[in-house]
A and B are shown apart, each in its own frame.
Chain A
Amino acid sequence: MPIYVQSYRTYDGEARGRFRWVTMVRQELRVLFKVRTFVVLFVIGYLHACFRMLQVVAYDTIVSDPNSPLYQALRQIAALEVNERMFFDFLRIQSGLVFLTTILAGAGMICDDVKNNLMEIYFSKPLTWRDYVMGKVMTVVCVGLGFTAVPALLCLILHNALVPSFATLAATYWIAGSIIAFSLVLVLPCALGVLASSALSRSDRYASIAVFMLLFGDLMLGGMLSDLLHQRNYSIVAFPLAINRIGEALFRERQVSFDISWEWSGLYVLVVCVVALWIICRMVRRAEVAA
């Protein structure tokens, strides 16, 4: 029997077998919540959510009650109505915060690990590159969903709790699906894009600048194409507009930004996600091998 089998003291507990990436998500979130700017953005995001919850409470308790003294005044304000449009607007407004927090959270996530030589330590532990990528992506996705799907679903639950009826449930059940789907459409490409930029960059600043430039370049290209060719459908090249088009379909908007089918926008978003994920995987594999 080898000597080390006879004498060494091994760790006698159980090692985590699956979902090893969950540890990475926890660790990254702990690090993020130590960043003051991130906390400020988080608070701003939830202030907006609180405002929307107040709107839900106001609508469900005052506007739904004809005996309320404010009934006449508030029912004139269409924007106060709790419907799919309210949730769509909420998510669209949150998308700006999602973009900022995603950059704040994700821009340094991979390049800092490479810069700080943490890759070799990570991969000398029982972690695979898939765990690593999954952990990083899920962290940014969780942050993004924390700004979008979570508060929106809370508002929806609140709405159903304040007006508990089968009719309310029947009228709003599909909104839950739309909220989740649109939140993912907002968050996933953003998270993957920022992480891809981080994987390609040497510092978080370069990664952030690259993402901003790519976004503005893309918006300008979309605007130029639609203006020059006098065809508004070319605006789909602008990524935020493509996402918006998917949102319009998910929330059953009657008036759409341009005529082109939402499936094309979906395909565009999918391609961006796949390319970004491919870049992340490739660069992490390279970093793992070169660690």
Chain B
Amino acid sequence: MIPTIEANELSKWFGEVVAVNNLRLTIGPGVTGLLGPNGAGKTTFIKLALGLYAPSRGTIRVLGAAPRNNLDVLRRIGYCPEADKFYDSMTGYEFVYWMNRFWGMDAAAADKKAVEACERMKIAHRMDDLIEEYSRGMRQRIKVAQALASDPELLFLDEPMSGLDPEGREDLFALIRELGEEGRTVVVSTHILYEVERVTSNVVLLHNGCVLAEGNVRQIRDLIDEHPHAITIRCDKPRVVAGHFAGDAATLNIEFCDNAVTIRTSDASTFYGKLNSLVLDEPLEVESITCPDDNLQAVFDYLVK
């Protein structure tokens, strides 16, 4: 399959500041989370992919071609920027309509697509109000609407959830997943790990302009064998469970909390095997087995350390 975005030794620096450093990265169809703290190079990467920046070194190919000054590529991309200031004297509909016109649609198509996009983002009832009267969440929706209006194959959403209320977030999570399922490439940039986890398990972790890891969150987690896995078992006899693993050489740390015990082990697969045996042998009432560090935050913390 042809990757939608392919970066090869991609670097971008501004004076002495290296924003993106020797990035080798491929992103295919579906939803990909671009994750990293502020200043990690997420927005710079997106702007390189949009052709807004020329690479200082290396190459980037988007939809099979270099994006810089390539209008054919830009026609196939939608972009929702992080900033949310627009022409306040315009209505939401007018904003999306004119963005469609700038995209190159004729008046009838721009009108039709603008209305469709507003309906899809559930702002059709407010689309004729001035943008200055919109809440931050509404602005966010209109911004996503203008990105969606041209039915792009590749969609960049830069911090799309900021300012959205819980209902709006849920709507956008569902929309992003839907777009991914339709076969589009959706790149969601955020520094909030929870947001990415809600839409995809496929992530690219950026830090200081470099790719720390890419792929499935669990696969990435499994790769970090040198870090202990934390496993929390909530049951009626947490001390029995702890006693069973206390003498194990792989067990590094045991913590109790209410009716739960958290065990950090350097050998997760052996641990799970033993736990299975224990549950079968002992009369334990296990409520839940969770891995508190089987999430992006833990992965990110480990990788950045």
Residues of A within 8 A of B (CB): 2-4, 6-11, 13-17, 20, 23-24, 26-27, 31, 34, 112, 115-118, 120-128, 288-289, 291
CA distance A112 to B86 in the complex (A): 9
Partner of A122, one of B77, B102, B113: B102
Pick 22 A–B contacts, CB within 8 A, sort by A: A2-B2, A2-B4, A4-B4, A4-B29, A4-B184, A9-B151, A9-B182, A10-B151, A13-B106, A23-B98, A23-B101, A27-B102, A116-B85, A118-B87, A120-B52, A124-B50, A124-B52, A124-B77, A126-B75, A126-B103, A126-B104, A289-B54
Partner of A15, one of B2, B69, B104, B184: B104
Residue on B with the closest CB to A112? B87
A3-B1, A128-B71 are known contacts. Are A24 and B102 too (CB-CB below 8 A)?
Answer: yes
User: Within 8 Å of chain A (Cβ to Cβ): is B215?
Assistant: no
CA distance A204 to B77 in the complex (A): 32
Could you tell me the dominant secondary structure of chain B's interface residues?
loop
Are the CB atoms of B69 and A128 closer together than 8 Å? yes
Instruction: Rank and list the top 5 A-B pairs by shortest CB-CB distance, nearest first.
Output: A15-B104, A7-B183, A117-B83, A124-B79, A126-B71
Residue on B with the closest CB to A121? B81
Nearest CB in chain A: distance from B94 CB, A: 8
Residues of B within 8 A of A (CB): 1-2, 4, 29, 47, 50, 52-54, 69, 71-72, 74-77, 79, 81, 83, 85-87, 89-90, 98-99, 101-106, 109, 113, 146, 150-151, 153-154, 182-185
Are the CB atoms of A121 and B185 closer together than 8 Å? no
CA distance A289 to B184 in the complex (A): 27
Partner of A4, one of B99, B102, B185: B185
Are the CB atoms of A289 and B101 closer together than 8 Å? no
CA distance A67 to B13 in the complex (A): 82
Are the CB atoms of A116 and B87 closer together than 8 Å? yes
Are the CB atoms of A23 and B102 closer together than 8 Å? yes
A4-B4, A10-B153 are known contacts. Are A120 and B74 too (CB-CB below 8 A)?
Answer: no
CA distance A118 to B85 in the complex (A): 8
Are the CB atoms of B81 and A3 closer together than 8 Å? no
Are the CB atoms of A125 and B74 closer together than 8 Å? yes
CA distance A10 to B4 in the complex (A): 16
CB neighbours (8 Å) of B83 from chain A are 117, 120
CB neighbours (8 Å) of A20 from chain B are 102, 104
Are the CB atoms of B47 and A120 closer together than 8 Å? yes
Nearest CB in chain A: distance from B265 CB, A: 39
CA distance A8 to B74 in the complex (A): 16
CB neighbours (8 Å) of A31 from chain B are 87, 89-90
Residue on A with the closest CB to B146? A121
CA distance A9 to B109 in the complex (A): 15
CB neighbours (8 Å) of B101 from chain A are 23, 26-27
Are the CB atoms of B75 and A3 closer together than 8 Å? no
Are the CB atoms of B183 and A115 closer together than 8 Å? no
Nearest CB in chain A: distance from B144 CB, A: 12
CA distance A115 to B86 in the complex (A): 9
CB neighbours (8 Å) of A288 from chain B are 52
Interface centre among A7, A13, A14, A17 (most CB of B within 10 A): A13
Besides A14-B106, A17-B104, A117-B83, 8 new A-B residue pairs in contact (Cβ under 8 A), listed by A number: A11-B151, A13-B105, A31-B89, A116-B86, A120-B83, A121-B81, A124-B77, A291-B47
Are the CB atoms of B102 and A8 closer together than 8 Å? no
Partner of A121, one of B2, B29, B53, B99: B99
CB neighbours (8 Å) of A7 from chain B are 182-183
Residue on A with the closest CB to B53? A289
CA distance A284 to B93 in the complex (A): 27
